[in-house]
Structure 1
Amino acid sequence: MRPLRPDLAIIASHVPDRASVLDIGCGDGGLMAALRETKSADARGLELDAADVATAMAKGLSVVQGDADTDLADYPDSAFDYAILSQTLQTTRAPDAILGELLRIAPRAFVSFPNFAYWRVRASLLFGGRMPVTGALPLSWYATENIHHVTIDDFRALLREQGIAVEQAWFLSGNRQRGAGAANLLAEQAVFLLGR
């Protein structure tokens, strides 16, 4: 098994043994496979890309093709222990509604996203006048699926507006964790564990 992305490694290390998990935007199922192997988790996935669905299913994973914006409503309340939305929030049409769906489907949700207020993003815009390409934002503006440019502070404000509790948060610069101090400026991506 190949190593997990840093945000996925944080999520995997905090999912308890034998938890039921819905990984929304699961890609090729790397996190699901790791959770199944290391935590004996009952991991299910929802993925938009047909090729990724086929790859995940070839690994013996339970994945269905679907769109988070429209298909989460089909899942019953409290169907899972955890919902996971990694590097997908910024690609959804209605991130605020998606958060509500995550916490309807499960009492806890992991959400990770690239921080568009990261200092290199700011510097690229300020000094180069162009949309950045970074480790967390590896595609040019015309090739990215990102339609909402969320920052850590924007995300925290949305959580306050919706009355969603933050149980834990982790901040990453490259592959390394950093403290919460000045995370909106210094962290390239964030991982939040949310609760009802």
Structure 2
Amino acid sequence: MTGLRPDLAVIARNVAEGTRVLDIGCGDGALMAALRDTRGVDARGLEIDPVNVAAAVARGLSVVQGDADTDLADYPDQSFDYAILSQTLQTSTRPGAVLNDLLRIGRRAFVSFPNFAHWRVRLSLLWGGRMPVTRLLPERWYETPNIHHVTIDDFRAMVAERGVVVERSWFLSGDKRTGSAAANLFAEHAVFLLSRNSRPR
């Protein structure tokens, strides 16, 4: 999908046509608009930033202002085919609870996040002793909305502990796909498609 951020393009290509989607932390609605216009998706959004909410509504999208940490409890079980959380997990106060809600609300969930174990991040800490500023992590440590520095291996462990099935995963270096074997070292960004295998612990 042209014009979308790389992780959003991956998600857009893998959402089934004609489904119902909740995009949590939807920003200005770019993904929702692409899904509506190219896949015939019934897309709804939740976004904390009022400026982004206004921009999404101006696109003709159904978006409400809300916080993933507190407002997901208002959504009924299995009310969407997909719940999407892109570049938001690491900004949430309680990522485990947010993940549980995603898989309660949606039959499947897409989660994407920046990988803090990428080799450039490690090198910046090793040689410079400072938190890195990169294209995907452009804010300095005191300005970033990221409050949890998650790695691909951390996320894999978290979903395994919760009995969550990883149906598919994609790893990105810049705008290109990279292999899964050493993704924790070489991928800047990860996208996971998840489903529930058992009740949350």
Superposed CA offset, 1:136-174 (max 9, x none): 211111111000000000000001110000000000000
CA distance in 1, matches of 2:156, 2:136: 19
What TM-score, normalized by structure 1, do the two folds share?
0.99
Provide Cα deviations, 1:103-145, integer angstroms capped at 9, x if missing partner: 0001100000000000000000000111001122111111110
Amino acid at match of 2:50: A
Aligned length, in residue pairs = 196
SS at 1:9 equivalent: helix
Residue type matched to 2:151 in 1?
A: T
How far residue 73 of structure 1 moved from its aligned partner, in angstroms, is 0.2
Do the aligned residues in 1 keep the contact of 2:2 with 2:9 (CA within 8 Å)? no
Q: Which amino acid aligns with 1:145?
A: P
Provide structure 2 residue ranges, at least 5 long, that are not aligned to the other structure. Answer: 197-201
Partner of 2:115: 115
* Shift in Å, 1:2: 6.5
- The 8 Å contact of residues 90 and 149 in structure 2, kept in 1 or not, is answered as yes
Deviations along 1:85-105, one digit per CA (max 9) or x if unpaired, are 000000000001111000000
What stretches of structure 1 move > 3 A for 4+ residues in a row?
none
Match of 1:44 in 2: 44
Identity %: 70
Q: How does 1:139-154 map to 2 (within 5 A)?
A: 139-154=139-154
Amino acid at match of 2:75: Y
What residue in structure 2 maps to residue 162 of structure 1? 162
Q: Within the alignment, does 1:194 sit opposite 2:194 as a pair?
A: yes
Q: Render the CA deviation track for 1:60-80: whole Å, top value 9, x for unaligned.
A: 000000000000000000010
Superposition RMSD in Å: 0.9
- 2:199 corresponds to: none
Q: Does 1:33 align with 2:33?
A: yes
Inter-partner Cα distance in structure 1 for 2:186 and 2:134 = 13
